Amino acid sequence: MLKKLFGLDKKESKKEVEMPEADGKDVLHSPADGEVVALSEVPDPTFAEKMMGDGVAIKPSGGTIVSPVHGEIMQLFPTKHAVGIKTVNGIEILLHIGIETVNMQGEGFKAFVKEGDKVAVGEKLIEFDPALVNEKAESTITPVIITNGDAVASIDKEEGKEVTAGETVIMTITSK
């Protein structure tokens, strides 16, 4: 009776995210407020020289990272500094928050998703403390990388402009 009175008998309901149909084209929105820049501006050769894949980077002005696409969380790093998302068209995207942030061991990071979750554009994925990242890591710059470039026919990038999380388009990817 007390459970019913206080609503404790209700099961936790997972919200359903309606996924669009695969059409061979993925439009990526900015995962953060800030400025979109070329990968060459990332102070880490692994990203700047596209060793992990092609993409862009965001210089975030805040500490919230949202989903740039409709997709599924394929990987959430234990340190919560990076997340992998697979789009409905099979494109794999890595969001890597900051440079040398893995060394923070998750300090200052909070995840709102887990592996297997379906996410929509603009849905909050991770919050981080920009001041702590600036203090303990090299940079807050956040690469947005396409890790399975062999599945990509073309990438159109929007660089050098101010962006709004979940709203501004930063890349359009056409699948092979």
Task: Please report, for the domain that includes residue 52, its CATH number.
Answer: 2.70.70.10
Element housing 130 (H / E) = helix 130-136
Predicted confidence (pLDDT) per residue in 121-172, tens digit: 999 999 999 999 999 999 999 999 999 999 999 999 999 999 999 999 999 9
Total domain count, the chain: 1
The whole-number pLDDT of residue 52 equals: 94
For residue 79, tell me if it sits in a domain.
yes
Q: What are phi and psi of 42, to 5 degrees?
A: -75, 130
For residue 4, tell me if it sits in a domain.
no
On the CB side of 126, CA atoms within 13 Å amount to: 31
Would you please indicate which residues are annotated as catalytic (active-site) residues? 96
Measure the CA–CA gap between 144 and 11, rounded to whole angstroms.
36
The whole-number pLDDT of residue 17 equals: 65
Measure the CA–CA gap between 148 and 7, rounded to whole angstroms.
45
Q: How confident is the model at residue 23 (pLDDT cuts 50, 70, 90)?
A: confident
For residue 110, tell me if it sits in a domain.
yes
For residue 14, tell me if it sits in a domain.
no
Contacts of range 151-160, beta carbons closer than 8 Å, 24 or more positions apart: 151/90, 151/91, 151/92, 151/175, 151/176, 152/54, 152/91, 152/176, 155/54, 155/55, 157/38, 157/55, 157/56, 158/36, 158/56, 159/36, 159/37, 159/38, 159/56, 160/35, 160/36, 160/37, 160/38
For residue 31, tell me if it sits in a domain.
yes
Q: How confident is the model at residue 24 (pLDDT cuts 50, 70, 90)?
A: confident
What 3-state class would DSSP assign to 46?
helix
Flag whether the pTM goes above 0.85.
Answer: yes
Structure tokens at 122: 């603009």
Domain residue limits at 166 = 22-175
Predicted confidence (pLDDT) per residue in 56-101, tens digit: 999 999 999 999 999 999 999 999 999 999 999 999 999 999 999 9
What number of other Cβ atoms are within 10 A of residue 137's Cβ?
18
What 3-state class would DSSP assign to 58?
strand
For residue 45, tell me if it sits in a domain.
yes
